[in-house]
Amino acid sequence: MRSTLTPNQAAVLFFIFLTGSSIINIPAPLILFSHNGAWISLIATGMFGLLLLIPIVSLARRYPGMTFIQYTSKLMGKPAAIFLGVIFLSYQIQMAAGIVMDIAMFLKSSMMRSTDYSIFIIFSFLAIAITIRVGVGKFVGMFGLLMLSVMVFIVFNVLLSSANFNWHFLLPVVDDGVKPILHGIYFISGFPYGEIVLFSMILPFVKPQSSDRTGRKMALALLLNTASLLMVTLATLLTFGPIAGERKYSMFEVARTIEITEIFQRIEALMGYSLIVASFMKASIVLFTSHITLNHLLGLPHENRQLIFPLALLCAIISISVGIRGEANWNFIVSGINPLWGLAAFVIPIVLVYFVSLLRKKKT
């Protein structure tokens, strides 16, 4: 039986996808690029994300039960669909490999220094592959509660760290002009907002209902995500001020500063848990969609589960090979190549397909 989602589940999955991993990873590079104007970049890119949601949701509504590959094939022909699909898949595989790479790097740099990267990568992909085999309708239920625990811990962390906040760190806002803010917008419009195009592969799983509120619920999830990212970015800025951009895994670092009496200290373990769990969930969603993309490219049905483990293995090999080249290379990929690749593989194709669908609609 095909696993289906309710609109609420789709919105929860969307929030997890946007917030997982970015909530811990985004503040540092964003502040590095946009300095004190990071929050402006975030709000602006949130709006961009909302705009991008329009083509995704309306295409899903126009072609119910069809994925991005399927309606592209219908609108622009099979060769175009395969071409766009391969680029689409390449970025997804890169994303999955990258997210797990992040888990491994975090664990190695902060908690288990003498363990090899590959151990974390292999075990993470094993868990991810097993999760996907269970089916989207089931793992979304598991993710809901996990994400709730992550958000509770993060809010708890922000509340406790507020004792160390220095409000002067917020000023000056646009000291270096508008360029840093634009740089920040460019960076986060790739990760995480550009990535929402991936949901064009998940929306066909949503049960069709008479009053379709999926779009509204997803928009609400996106706004909640922007608010959460804003909260952690501001908390990082307020805690570290000028050096906030240098602090990798910002929330983890913020947690380290907490020391309220003898009881509330050393709570970075909670942030470690949050980072791993949130990244695990996001990587699962990405591997799930990449598996569906691969199925469609090869003309296999949705339900086919045979390619999950081979795909996970491929991603693990990519992760390990990137890991060998070191952290600096990885940082360059994330901040240099990633936004461009995301734009080319995700944003431009969906906008293109959307315009074609609009033109076709006018003609008919």
Partner 1 sequence: MPFTEVTTITTDHLFKQLIHNLLRLQDTYRHCSDLDMVQWQYGPGMKNSAVSVYFKSIINNKKINYMKRSMQDLTEHIIGPGTEVTPEMLIKFFDSHGASAESATLESAWSLIDQRILAGYVVIFLDGWDKAICYEANGLETRQVMEPETEPVVQGPREGTVENMQKNIGMIRMRVRSTAVKFEAFQAGGYSNTAVSYGYLEGVVDTAVLEEFKSRIRTVNPGEILDTSYIEELIEDSPYSPFPQFRYTERTDVAAAALLNGKIILLVEGSCSVLICPGLFFELLQSSEDYYQRVLVSNFIRWLRFIALLIAISLPSLYIAISTFHTELIPTVLLLAIIDSREGIPFGAFFEAVIMVFFFELLKEAGIRLPKPVGSAVSIVGALVIGEASINAGIASPIMVVVVALTGIASFAMPQYNLSIALRLLQFPLMALAALLGGFGILLGYLFIWLHLVTLTSLNVPYLTPIAPWNSRQFRDTLIRKKLPALIRRPKPPPST
Distance CA 256, CA 240 (A): 12
Q: Is the dihedral of CA 64, 291, 148, 150 positive or negative?
A: negative
What is the end-to-end Cα distance of the chain in Å, rounded? 35
CB of 103 to partner 1, least distance (A): 9
CB of 300 to partner 1, least distance (A): 23
SS (H, E, C) 260-296: ECCCEECCHHHHHHHHHHHHHHHHHHHHHHHHHHHHH
Binding mask 5-34 for partner 1 (x = CB under 8 A): ---xx-------------------------
2 binding partner 1? (CB under 8 A): no
Candidate list 222, 277, 311, 312; residue touching partner 1; CB under 8 A: 277
Q: Is the dihedral of CA 31, 33, 37, 43 positive or negative?
A: negative
CB of 10 to partner 1, least distance (A): 13
Distance CA 235, CA 328 (A): 26
Q: Where are the alpha helices (DSSP H) in 241-267?
A: 250-257
Candidate list 44, 50, 127, 174; residue touching partner 1; CB under 8 A: 127
Candidate list 17, 63, 139, 187; residue touching partner 1; CB under 8 A: 139
Strand partners, 259: 265
Q: Count residues contacting partner 1 (CB under 8 A)?
A: 32
CB of 135 to partner 1, least distance (A): 8
213 binding partner 1? (CB under 8 A): no
Sequence-ordered list of residues with C-beta below 8 angstroms from that of 363, at least 6 positions apart, any chain: none
Nearer to partner 1, 269 or 324 (CB): 269
Provide the residue type at 240 as one letter: F
Nearer to partner 1, 264 or 332 (CB): 264
Using CB under 8 A as the binding rule, the residues of this chain from 244 to 263 that contact partner 1 are: 262
**Token pair recorded at residue 208:** 């069709």
Binding mask 79-118 for partner 1 (x = CB under 8 A): ----------------------------x---xx--x---
Candidate list 48, 83, 123, 309; residue touching partner 1; CB under 8 A: 123
280 binding partner 1? (CB under 8 A): yes
Nearer to partner 1, 137 or 241 (CB): 137
Nearer to partner 1, 177 or 262 (CB): 262
Strand partners, 260: 264
Distance CA 295, CA 289 (A): 10
Q: Closest Cα to residue 287, out of 147, 99, 103, 142?
A: 99
Asked if 313 contacts 320 with a C-beta cutoff of 8 angstroms, the reply is no
Q: Give Cα 185 to chain centroid, integer Å.
A: 16
Cα 153 to Cα 18, 24, 70, 129: the distances in Å are: 17, 12, 40, 26
Candidate list 144, 182, 231, 241; residue touching partner 1; CB under 8 A: 144
Nearer to partner 1, 135 or 241 (CB): 135
Candidate list 48, 156, 273, 330; residue touching partner 1; CB under 8 A: 273
Residues forming contacts to partner 1 in the complex (CB under 8 A) are 8-9, 107, 111-112, 115, 119-120, 123, 127, 130-131, 134, 137-142, 144-146, 262, 265-266, 268-269, 272-273, 276-277, 280
